[in-house]
Amino acid sequence: MITKKNVNGEEYLRISDVAALSGVNIRTLQRWINNGELINFLTIYQSENGINYFRLGEPYDYDVPIDESPLVDGRPLKYKLPVETSERA
């Protein structure tokens, strides 16, 4: 069962959901993600409590990188999960 998280109209998935959609083993998928191999396909978002969520596609211009996130090709690997707002600035 896919359990999407919706924030401001955007869908964010857990790694188990990405694995189910792609048909790739979670361990393999996690290795690819950690190596930055999927940076052009998935954007990683981390919630305040440390849970990672994924959105298909590259990061938006307004995404906020996590300070200690490693860089892959000059781009942060992880971004802060947006919080629900009534309007986007």
Domain spans of the chain, in order of start = 5-80
Question: Can you tell me whether residue 39 is helix, strand or coil?
Answer: coil
pLDDT tens-digit profile, the chain (89 residues): 566 777 777 889 999 999 999 999 999 999 999 898 999 999 999 998 888 999 999 999 999 999 888 888 888 999 999 886 544 44
CA Rg value for the chain: 13
Torsion of CA 80, 64, 2, 9, to 10 degrees: 120
